[in-house]
Amino acid sequence: MKSKPKSKQVKTKAKAKVVEEDFRDENEIAFDDVINSSEEEEEDFDADIQDDDEFEVKAEKYRRRMLAQKQLADAEQQEDIDQRTSKVTPLEDHETEGVQLYEQTHTAEELRDRVQEIVRVLTNFSDEREEGRSRAEYLELLKNDLMELYEYNEFLMDCIMRLFPPSEVVDFLEAMEKTRPTTIRVNTLKAKRRDLVQTLVKRGMNIEPLEKWSKVGLQVFESNVPIAGTIEYLAGYYMLQAAASFLPVMALAPQEGERILDMSAAPGGKTTYIAQLMKNTGVLFANDVSAPRCKSLNANLQRLGVTNCIVTNYDGTGYEKVMRNFDRILLDAPCTGTGIISRDKSIKTSKHYEDIQRSSQQQRSLLLSAIDACKVEGYIVYSTCSFLVEENEAVVDFALKRRNVKIVEMGLPFGRPGFTKYQHNRYDESLEQSRRYFPHVHNMDGFYVCKLKKISQEVPKEPRAVEKNKGKGSEKRPRAQEEASPAAGKKRKTDASSNISIPPKSTSRTPAPKKKSKSKK
């Protein structure tokens, strides 16, 4: 009874085993068919996804597409890491570019990365430099990259790189690309700052006091109305004026009842500020060489309610022949405007060496005329909207040698001191009392201000530096170049503060008469 069921179990197990093997074979055959079919259709997975594709086909196409994108992203990331971490990128990358003569190989981002790397090397040159590479090579590559990135001409870029260390050069150029804050000056002849702020806020202006150093300045962050189109502007309650333009007038410090000259007055921002500080007392002369600009000057004087001003239209050079004995004179000299590149981008490529020399020569003549027109113990303030030494310290140093004046403190609460050394030139040490303003440091236009005091009316026949060196072997304040005396014959003399050649003064105005015997022959 028990053996029979065992045999049946064995038979059933054998049958089940055969069925299982048959099923396994069928499954293997079916699986191979699927694999073979997928291999036949493998090239279709790279095609676009179609609406009539089966679900499995769509999923495979998505998977392959995502995998390809991931591989591409990983490759780009690794390439970027290799480029950024490579030690030899700056100079070797530049040398490899020399092979590709006609291709633009760098984007702005790549140039910024390379500039940053060069600056890093230059700040710690002894440890970071490549072997066999000089500092001049790095500086030349930095200059070329900055010229391409910020679109300056070579002359201006050279001037900027002489003024600042490499890390500060980049900060300066970046600041020049940004616009300066909009500022207005309250006309205290007609309004008070607190009342004007309340009125302008109601008109939709976001406005705040400028800084602690100015009691009349306001900074406009945004406005729903035109700043120069409000009733208050037309009524003369305020004047649109850059913050840097406040500084020369503050240095001049005009007093009530004085006789003051603004030698280059148009369009009238500084002139009206002087009249405001004088409280419409005394006499203020506003001069400008341009007749059309004198019209805009007159319009601003009338709009702001200035009543103590007389407008003249003369060339500033030789103004001492028209009027003299002024208590204070402001000379905001015409210049190349390199400090206001943020407002006029064309200056980057339009200014060259010849323009600087021409402007410097004009500024020297204007400053000497201003000193001659000022009374003894009077003050002259010289200012420009330029950061170039040739238009600033070199001009003032020229005047110090040819007139009896000295530099005095201006009382301005901030600003960098002026240069006393620039390349091979050595200027008067008192020029440290002048002030420079830069956009990346003070968030205002590039500006220069210097205040002079007239000591006497006498005009030295020769530059004072020559007279000092006659009896002394050494000077406490060295000069860059000594000027030749008139006895040097026909040789030309070069001024110590620039490369402008000045012909020597002749010792006699008329030629010596010929002998009678020779004239008879």
**Annotated catalytic residue: which of 159, 335, 374, 385?**
385
Taking residue 151's Cβ as centre, other Cβ atoms within 10 Å add up to 10
Left, alpha or beta for 282 (phi > 0: left; psi -120 to 50: alpha)?
A: left
Instruction: Please tell me whether 269 is known to bind a ligand.
Output: yes
Per the annotation, does 480 bind a ligand?
no
List the beta strands (DSSP E) in 101-252. Answer: 182-186, 205-209, 217-223, 238-240
User: Using alpha carbons only, how large is the chain's radius of gyration in Å?
Assistant: 39
Q: Is 217:197 a contact under the CB 8 Å cutoff?
A: no
Q: Has 2 been labeled as part of a binding site?
A: no
**Structure tokens, 85:** 């971490």
Encode burial over 327-350: b for 16+ CB neighbours within 10 A, e otherwise: bbbbbbbbbbbbbbbbeeeebbee
Helix (H, G, I), strand (E, B) or coil at 28: helix
Q: Which residue type is seen at 164? A: F
411 is in an annotated binding site: no
265 is in an annotated binding site: yes
CA distance linking residue 397 with residue 316, whole number of Å: 20
Report the alpha-carbon distance of residue 122 to residue 139 in Å, rounded: 8
Residue 439, preceding peptide bond in cis (omega within 30° of 0): no
Residue 33 assigned as binding residue? no
332 annotated as ligand-binding = yes
User: Six-digit token pair at 188?
Assistant: 């205290």
Would strands 326-332 and 374-384 be described as parallel, antiparallel, or unpaired?
parallel
CB of 167 closer than 8 Å to CB of 119: yes
- Residue 231's CB: how many other CB atoms inside 10 A? 10
Two structure tokens written together for 145? 């990259």
Is 226 assigned to a binding site?
no
Report the alpha-carbon distance of residue 14 to residue 8 in Å, rounded.
10
Residue 51, annotated as binding a ligand: no
Q: Is 385 a catalytic residue?
A: yes
Helix 108-123 to helix 135-150 angle (10° resolution) is: 150
270 among the known binding-site residues? yes
Q: Are 420 and 450 in contact (CB under 8 A)?
A: no
Catalytic residues: 385
